[in-house]
Structure 1
Amino acid sequence: MSHQEMGDSAKEKIEDVKPAEITSHSGRVDGSGDFPPADVSFEPGKTFFGAKPAGTTLPGDTVLPTVVPLFAEPPMDADPEEPPKEPPKEGKKEKKEKREKGQEPDDKIIRKTAAVDSKVQAKMSRTNLGMAEKTTAAKPGSERSGIPAGGFLQTGDIAMHIGQTEYILLTVRDFFLYSILVTVVTVIAVASMPTSRYYYHDIFTHFLTDSNFKTESGLYKNFWDIRILDQIWDYWKGILIPLTYSGVNDRIAKTFAANLKEDHLMILENVVVVLPRIRQVRVRNDSCQVPEGFVYIFDSCHYFFSPELEDREPFGLGNGTLWTWQSDQVTKSSSVSGEISTYTGGGYFMDFSMKKEETLALYTEMWNNTWIDHGSRAIIVDVVGYTQRDNLFCIVTLLFEIPPSGGVITSGDIRIQKLLRYVSTTDFVVLGFEAALLVLLVYYTVEETVELIIIRLKYFKNPWNIFDFVILVLGYSTLAVGALRYFMVENELKGLRDAMRNHEFFSFHEVRKIQTAYEVLIGTLALGVWLKIFKYMYVVRPGAIVLRAFQKVRMELLALTLMLLLLVFGFAMFAHVIFGTHVEEFNSIGSSMFTLIALFSGGLYFYKNCEEARPMLAPAFFILYIFVVILLFLNWFAAAIVHGLKRAAKDFDATGDDEQVFLKDILRNALKKMFLICGYKRMYKKMDDEDRAYQDRPDYDIIINLLKRNGFGILERALFLKRHGISEENTTIPKSKVDDVIADLNGMNKLYVEVEEHAKIMEQVDKIKKRLEILDHALSDMVVKSFASSIINQCW
């Protein structure tokens, strides 16, 4: 039998004796210095030193598994061809009974022991392994695990179960393929949203909502400053109507309108696609109940708006669409959401005329007959403009909400959207990228299916695979909504043309909703594909350390996040109750949560309002919140991340450079071979010398690294090295000293196991003592009671 075969058989024997989940332990209570299981590697071609722990094993002692040297001969009385017999497996119940009886030590304690000798030998046997040549062979049992190669569709996730070198190479290939997907999605997202949208939005916002108008009291206000009903009329007369007909007096706009084939209104060189509309929704006068004590004061009650309380009866003059209710099929409008409620698409409305005089006449009729009264709950203004230069629609919805308490709450929604697709050359280029996106999505769908078939349930253990599935769903949803938007716009174009010719109103609400959904989906898809780039950071050492750091402290971060959210929610409840009436930022629980979370980045601009509302509570509240949440919790987050980085860096310093392959190693090896093939012997020799210097680093450094991983401090390391006669001058350490080091560390681990077992025995002894004391007290009580009863009987 060859040495290699004997070594393999020895390894199988070790696996039979050694628990499957055994790990090494430094002998310290905190577990510092534990070895990761990957430190033990049996690779062909490596020579391992044998080791025997010092001392003899006494009867009753826990026998720790030790490593049999690969070159050891089998026992004389053993048949070399006979396979080792596996001991009968015991169930969990039998093991638990043995542990309770003390016949078998606890598995948790055994897992803390260390096969330190095998780990040191694996580190000490670094023969012919330079920085560039280090590769990892296929994992033992990968062929037996039934994981076949995926062929052309093989990915890094499949190669992860085969070997590190294949994993790195396929991950790099996947990254280049994935970069194509990132480029395609980025181009679609950027090209679909022209940068000129911002300028059009800024212009319409300036003229419609930020421009000042003069009220009847002589004050100047803008759209956002409207607080009473009369100011709504002033806004219409001072801003909305003049802006709608501004093209009549604008010389440039008149010149532009003269070149149009049809007569249309102009707003700042933008064609008014459909005539503006003013629509009102109302509630019934019996929508709420007046208390009995105030019946003599109020003869009606108007509540907040809801569809079941909507007033559909004529009012005022009682004729025309201004004074009679119309359904949403007639108005062709959709529901609108505001700060107070959501308002239906029906109601009472007025469409602007092509002539300013006719519109002013309708305005006067509304004013004289009190079109806005106690039953009014919302006034909606719809304006749609179009610019042919950038093929953009400006869809404006202005909302005036009238709560039952009186006053006005204004809100505006100005959307600049590109509804007509595939018009210019750039649009057709985007169409090509969308086709490429579809092809890539199909390719990745097949690839993920192959991964699922090959690695089966292991596929779902990797969170990145779930993230891939989410990206695929987002990609298909984006393309589906984009296609639906295109066909919907094409279908609505005929109705839009007829409305423009007949100067009628046309609703863009449905088209706007689907365009908004497309924008949200393409934005989310772009965010997802860029975030997935973090997956490929594992191939470089700094990125692997950062990701490993978050992996090590993920539970701590999750716990801190939950605690932080609970704490912020408590503060938000308090702030809503105390400041909600006076400060807008705390008028609801959601607003309070958002405001307090936004405080993490600073900006206490609303503190003055809080202090005016509660002079005593405001300072105490914000000081306590800033101290507890911002100072303590955010620093705990930073401390947890720093702790994870230290742990990850320590692991990589201890094992990463010797046992994990990174992209730089493969590139260095390829560069070195290229220099040799191209005849650059000087560069090749320089790199080769660096590799040899790395592989021939002193054994002293490895021993120091080993002691650090076992949790030895500076003074402890110095005493340990002095006891074994090891100094910095030892470039190579004899086998006898290696055996002594292994035996010493094994002895410490054995002592740790004995201490743990002794502690458990003492705990059982204490429990027995307590039970005996209870029994003793019970017996004493019984004796006293019997004696007392006997005395009582004698007395009677």
Structure 2
Amino acid sequence: MFVTVLYIVSYTNRNSNAILQVQHLSSFFCNTRSSSNNFTDIVSLDDYWDWLQTIFVTGIRIQPWYNGGSVGNMTDFLNDKSNRIIGWSLMRQLRLSRNSSCRVPPAFRTLIDSCKDSYSFSDEERQSYAPGWLSTTNINYTISIRNSFIYRSSDELDSYVYWGNHGTYSSGGFVYEFLGNFDEIQENLTLLRNLTWIDERSRAVMIQLNLYNPNVKLYTSVTLLVEILSTGEVFPSFRIDPFQMYTEFHDFSSIFYMVIAIIYILFIVYFTFIEIYSIYKLKKKYFRKMRSYIEWCMISCSWAGVGVYISRYNEAQRIGRYFNSTNGFQYINFQFATYLNDVLTFLLGFCCFSGTIRLLQLFEIYPRVNIFSRTLHRGFKEIAAFTMMYFLLFSAFVILFYLLFVSKMISCSSILLTAGMLFEMILLKFDTTDLQDADPFLGPFVFTLFIYFCVLVCFTMFIVIIIDHFRHVRSEIRNKETKQPSILAFIIGDISKRLGLGNASAKVHPQQSPAIVITRSDPPTPIEQLPSKLDELILALDRVHTICKRLDEMFGLEGNGTLIDATFHPQQRRRRKKHVVY
């Protein structure tokens, strides 16, 4: 029942329309379905300005319907006429200061005046300028243009640190706000382009906007990032995060969700007390069981999820109050709410993972069903030793590939990317053409070494370890003398006894295990031959005893030569009885 409640809580936190919202907005803003002005194909700053003035600006300002009809009161919607902009969009730039730490080598100082380093928090520009990155100017510009050259802190922008593909960027920066109608925005962007608002010191330009789709009741945070590397490359990326802020308890489904959430919390309280009591009773023995760590993983993630859900609910209330007070005409940042939603999704995922593993405890009564965990438990030391050995070998190959091809292959440009490439090799999903192009000899050579040692040798060793322990566990199960009761018969019998429907003294008959014929390919050991040899010895002694008895009956003599009646002799009768018992 607990796992069912957990699944319901996790499922209601997700929305099946989220992936459709992501697909729609990615094609709407990034123009991914077109070969021209595609955001993901941007390779220069000129391409970025062209995309900004054509695709993006056209998308954030609603146009008349296809038949020329008026859009009415939908002026704050995107041009898709489905998503409303909350506040307005802004474009934030992070750039290097003029006193950056980059220094030109002495041999080139006569030819090169200055250099620009990669972005870092310490080298970020935090000084305000006049339009054109000048100290002063006599030209009268609009407020939007003048404000775009003024540095603004994170407190003013209500923004947070952002993680890109090539760096981590601070929460401040120089901001241009997309205010006004379509023609005014186009004029401002043209002026910013002429004033070189994005120049050689720019390192990141991100566009942030927040949306609400009333049709599917989804909030969406959109971030379009362009990273300008110190090598001169322009690297575009985007992130679209749809999420549900909170549930309004006004219908049956929402009230049902609230009841399920309360039941879930009660379950977590109960499991917490049970585990604390188990620690008190078992002491050190408690921590020797893998089940204990799985329980605490589920309990910790559950309590953390409750805290994050409350924080997300408070953040939703704050955004709602601010939106109502400003009528939606002030910029509202969803970045913190997006982070909370990601953390909540992460915690719920691990809760479902741990809760599902707990279901294996129901099958402990059946050794054959529980053979997987019994095999891992029996071979834990060998598997742990093999894992350590394989990790060291894999790390050695990661370092080798990284040092050999760091400047020749994009998939080897970092340690993590190199490790990912080697995992693809293990799965045999890697194209060796890139390695061969990087180095005609070293590429195929190190690839062959990696496949031989990490795939053929190590995987064969791992399979042998598992098979060996699996064989022993299976033999223990087959040779176990105690018979396992049928769980279905046990449950039915127990319910019948408690309800008084059956005989209270009736016992549940154990399930008769069918006879198993074990076919072996290897010869039996002397210990295994001992029972059969003992049976043969007993049969031989029995035959000898029978022969001796017949001889006595034939001659009818005792040891002193006196004729006796062998049939009614007391000692012979006792010997016969002993033989029968034996």
Which category describes the TM-score, using the shorter chain as reference length? 0.7 to 0.9
Q: Is 1:571 aligned to residue 397 of structure 2? A: yes
1:265 and 1:354 in contact (8 A); partners too: no
**Deviation, structure 1 residue 447:** 2.2
CA distance in 2, matches of 1:516, 1:599: 31
Q: How does 1:538-549 map to 2 (within 5 A)?
A: 538-549=364-375
Alignment partners' CA distance in 1, 2:426 and 2:257: 40
Residue 299 of structure 2 is matched in structure 1 by 472
Match of 2:63 among 242, 248, 262: 248
Please state if 1:626 is matched with 2:455: no
Whole-angstrom CA distance in 2 between matches of 1:726 and 1:471: 64
Contact 1:284–1:302 (CA under 8 A) maintained in structure 2: no
Same amino acid, percent of matched pairs? 19
CA contact (8 A) 2:87 2:328 kept: no
Query: Which ranges in structure 2 are unaligned for 5 or more consecutive residues?
Result: 135-144, 542-575
Give a deviation string over 1:387-412, Cα, whole Å, max 9, x none. Answer: 11221012111111111121211221
Identify the residue that residue 16 of structure 2 maps to in structure 1: 195
Question: Which residue of 1 is the match for residue 203 of structure 2?
Answer: 377
Instruction: Return the alpha-carbon distance in structure 2 between the equivalents of residues 352 and 222 of structure 1.
Output: 21
Q: What residue is the counterpart of 1:511 in the other structure?
A: 337
> Aligned with 1:333: secondary structure?
coil
Question: Offset of 1:299 from its aligned partner?
Answer: 2.1
2:119 is paired with a residue whose SS is coil
Instruction: Please list the CA deviations of residues 356-378 of structure 1 after superposition, one character each: whole Å capped at 9, or x if unmatched.
Output: 11110110111111111111010
Q: Secondary structure at the match of 1:530?
A: helix
Query: For the Cα contact (< 8 Å) 2:390–2:454, is it kept in 1?
Result: yes
Q: For residues 112-167 of structure 1, what are the alpha-carbon distances to aligned partners after superposition, in whole Å with 9 as ceiling and x for unaligned? A: xxxxxxxxxxxxxxxxxxxxxxxxxxxxxxxxxxxxxxxxxxxxxxxxxxxxxxxx
Aligned equivalents of 1:511, 1:678: Cα separation in 2: 58
Deviation of 1:557 (Å): 1.2
Q: Are residues 1:238 and 2:54 paired? A: yes
Cα 1:448/1:735, change in 2 over 3 Å: farther
- The counterpart of 1:663, out of the listed 487, 508, 512, is 487
Alignment of 1:12-91 (within 5 A): none
Q: Deviations over 1:614-670 (max 9, x none)?
A: 121222222221222122222222222221211111112222x42666636745976
Higher share of residues assigned helix: 1
2:412 corresponds to 1:591: no
CA contact (8 A) 1:276 1:384 kept: yes
Cα drift, residue 440 of structure 1:
0.9
> Is the 1:211–1:239 contact (alpha carbons within 8 Å) kept by the matching residues of 2?
no
The residue aligned with 1:355 is 181
1:53 matched residue in structure 2: none
Indicate conservation of the 8 Å contact 1:286/1:301, yes or no: no
* 1:637 counterpart SS class: helix
Look up the match of 2:115: 301
1:250 to 1:540, Cα distance in 2 relative to 1, 3 A: farther
CA separation of 1:724 and 1:228: change in aligned 2, threshold 3 A: farther
Equivalent in the alignment of 1:641: 466
Closer, same or farther: CA 715–453 of 1 in aligned 2, 3 Å:
closer
TM (normalized to structure 2)?
0.81
- Cα 1:624–1:192, aligned 2, differ >3 Å: closer, same or farther? same
Aligned with 2:318 (options 491, 499, 513): 491
Q: In the alignment, what sits opposite 1:745?
A: none
1:431 to 229, 247, 258: 258
1:276 to 78, 82, 89: 89
In the aligned structure 2, how far is the partner of 1:553 from the partner of 1:253? 74
C-alpha distance in 2 between matches for 1:416 and 1:354: 26
Q: Distance in 2 between matches of 1:480 and 1:434?
A: 13
SS of residue in 1 equivalent to 2:233: coil
2:92 alignment partner, SS class = strand
Q: 1:436 to 1:664 in 2, by over 3 A?
A: closer
Letter in 1 for 2:411: E
**1:452 paired residue number:** 279
Amino acid at match of 1:417: F
What is the match of residue 325 of structure 1? 151
Is the 2:91–2:176 contact (alpha carbons within 8 Å) kept by the matching residues of 1? yes
Deviation at 1:709, TM superposition (A): 13
Match in the other structure for 1:722: 536
Secondary structure at the counterpart of residue 385 of structure 1: strand
Q: Could you tell me which runs of 5 or more consecutive residues in structure 1 were left unpaired when the two chains were aligned.
A: 1-179, 215-219, 728-733, 741-796
Q: CA deviation at 1:577?
A: 1.6
Residue 452 of structure 1 aligns to which amino acid in structure 2?
I
Supply the distance in 1 between the matched residues of 2:201 and 2:369 (Cα, whole angstroms): 63
CA RMSD of aligned residues (A): 3.6
More deviation in 189-198 or 630-639?
630-639
Deviations 1:152-195 (A, max 9, x none): xxxxxxxxxxxxxxxxxxxxxxxxxxxx1111110111111011
Select the residue among 517, 529, 541 that pairs with 2:355.
529
Contact 2:126/2:173, CA 8 A, preserved across alignment: yes
Amino acid at match of 2:203: R
Deviations 1:66-122 (A, max 9, x none): xxxxxxxxxxxxxxxxxxxxxxxxxxxxxxxxxxxxxxxxxxxxxxxxxxxxxxxxx
Q: Distance in 1 between matches of 2:149 and 2:191?
A: 11
Contact 2:485 2:509 in 1 (8 A): no
Q: What per-residue deviation string (whole Å, max 9, x for no partner) do you get for residues 735-770 of structure 1?
A: 999x99xxxxxxxxxxxxxxxxxxxxxxxxxxxxxx
C-alpha separation in 2, matches of 1:667 and 1:709:
43
State which drifts further: 716-725 or 310-319. 716-725
Counterpart residue type for residue 512 of structure 1: T
Q: Secondary structure at the match of 1:189?
A: helix
C-alpha offsets along residues 601-624 of structure 1, whole Å, 9 cap, x if unaligned?
33114x222221112122222222
Say if 1:550 and 1:324 are closer, same or farther in 2 by CA, change over 3 A: same
Per-residue deviation, 1:282 = 0.7
Distance 1:321 1:228 in 2: 25
d(CA) in 2 for partners of 1:244 and 1:294? 47
CA contact (8 A) 2:485 2:511 kept: no
Closer, same or farther in 2 for the Cα pair 1:736/1:397, shift >3 Å?
farther
Q: Deviations over 1:476-517 (max 9, x none)?
A: 111111011101210222223345543x32211111111211
Residue 358 of structure 2 aligns with an amino acid whose one-letter code is K
Q: Secondary structure at the match of 1:307?
A: coil
Conserved in 2, the CA contact under 8 Å of 1:286 and 1:302?
A: no
Contact 1:538 1:547 in 2 (8 A): no
Distance 1:298 1:587 in 2: 28
Match of 1:397 among 219, 223, 226: 223
Give the whole-Å Cα distance in 1 for the aligned partners of 2:188 and 2:114: 29
- Measure the CA separation in 2 of the matches of 1:468 and 1:735: 63
Distance (Å, rounded) in 2 between the aligned partners of 1:402 and 1:357: 28
Mapped to 1, the partners of 2:25 and 2:87 lie a distance apart of: 16
Deviation readout 1:233-277 (Å, 9 max, x if unpaired): 1221232112222x313449976x5255x7544434211223211
- Other-structure match for 1:46: none
